[in-house]
Amino acid sequence: MQPQRNTSRILIVLFGLLCASAGCNTLAFAQTEQGLQAALQAAMPEKPYTVAIGVWVDQITHIDQKSENFGIVGNLRLEWDDPELAFDAKQASQDLRLYTRDAFTRFVDQNGLFAPGFVIHNQQGRRFSQEINIAVSQNGHAVYLERFSATLQAPDFDFVQYPFDKQKFFVHVVAVAPTRFFKFVPLEGFSGLGDQLGEEQWIFQESWTETSEVSGITGMPTTRFSLGIMANRHRNYYVLRIFVPLTIILLVTWVTFFLQDFSKRVDIAGANLLIFVAFNFTISNDLPRLGYLTFMDAILVAFFAFTGMVVVVNVLFRRMEITGRESLARRIDIYTIWIYPVTLGVLVLLCWYWLVRESMHF
């Protein structure tokens, strides 16, 4: 057991140093020879430390659907108890000691004490820390406070129901050391969302916290804390800017069936085809190049194909008129006036059933 224990100590310290060199928050790991010795002595506690953690999001700076990431400004808080951090308040002439991150790192290195190391797992690029402070009470209760801004990956986006979709956003904080060294528990009453997030396109409905065990950078089971956020889009924008104009375009196409001039019908339906192409390019600029069909895609393709069929039908009517079968064309045309809206309604219902109703898993 002793060689395995020593190997684990060395492994976790080396990984901690690796993360520190990469710019991660690894308070517990030393960068000096003295710190290495202290870390080796304190690497394996008798029982895992319990670290309470919470994340409070003040702002959502951006949501980039094409890159599948989002930016936040938030506060990160960690709390833990360590008797080794306790001090005599009378002798120190203070009830609370305040440290910067660098000062606290040197302190724990020199004294071989514990401090939790962590990384924000879905962080993209560097995290900008506006302020970091550590407060230690005389009884050994430590509080880590960080105000930061960062861009976070959002690989859980699912656009099948777009623009009636709901999306999940996560802030994943993963411990550097395995769970046998320390584990995260949610900090009661801290995590959540601010009242003015600054993102107008989305409605943020709820947030929740959860902890899980994942494979960490050491390759061993590691604790992970997650702040989850559920949001849906402001649908009025899409109704007013997309669906209402599309409805008007389709209504104009339908009204042409009341014209007796088949050639005019062809001209109007052909012009409407170009409008659908413009809509398609406008909407595709908001989303990544997906490998699946969204509700909006299905609606546009269905409307585009249906309008194309209207052009074909009117061309056939015009052909029949020229070749002396106008009376037959007129008799058939009576039914197309009602076939058009009924078929269109069926297409919309099918798209809704297959892509929205069937995929409502939230």
- Is 136 contained in some domain? yes
pLDDT of residue 249: 84
Same domain, 265 and 190: no
Higher pLDDT, 333 or 212: 212
Q: What is the mean pLDDT of residues 316-345?
A: 86
pLDDT of residue 357: 67
Same domain, 255 and 163: no
Q: What is the mean pLDDT of residues 11-15?
A: 42
Q: What is the mean pLDDT of residues 173-188?
A: 92
Same domain, 123 and 240: no
* Residue at a domain's end among 173, 204, 233: 233
Q: Which amino acid is at 356?
A: V
Res. 198: pLDDT tops 80:
no
pLDDT of residue 283: 72
Q: What is the mean pLDDT of residues 332-339?
A: 85
Residue-wise pLDDT for 31-80, tens only, equals 454 554 445 445 566 788 899 999 999 999 999 988 899 999 999 999 99
Please tell me the least confidently modeled range out of 1-10, 61-70, 263-272, 321-330.
Answer: 1-10
Which one-letter DSSP state was computed for residue 83? G
Same domain, 253 and 242: yes
Q: What is the mean pLDDT of residues 162-166?
A: 88
Same domain, 259 and 306: yes
| Secondary structure class of 208 (helix, strand, coil) | strand
pLDDT of residue 52: 97
Cβ count near 353 (within 10 Å): 10
The verdict on whether omega for the bond into residue 3 sits within 30 degrees of 0, i.e. cis, is no
Same domain, 95 and 179: yes
Res. 194: pLDDT tops 80:
yes
Domain extent at residue 251: 236-357
- Is 362 contained in some domain? no
pLDDT of residue 22: 38
11 pLDDT band, cuts 50/70/90, is very low
The overall average pLDDT reported for the chain is 82
Same domain, 72 and 219: yes
Same domain, 319 and 273: yes
Res. 333: pLDDT tops 80:
yes
- Is 350 contained in some domain? yes
Please tell me the least confidently modeled range out of 7-16, 228-237, 349-358.
Answer: 7-16
The encoded tokens of residue 97 equal 């000691």
* Chain centre distance of CA 34: 42
- Is the separation of the CB atoms in 314 and 265 below 8 Å? yes
Q: What is the mean pLDDT of residues 146-152?
A: 96
* Residue at a domain's end among 233, 249, 275: 233
Q: Which of 77-81, 193-197, 292-296 has the highest mean pLDDT?
A: 77-81
* Residue at a domain's end among 188, 206, 233: 233
Count of domains observed in the chain:
2
pLDDT of residue 360: 52
The verdict on whether omega for the bond into residue 163 sits within 30 degrees of 0, i.e. cis, is yes
pLDDT of residue 8: 41
pLDDT of residue 262: 84
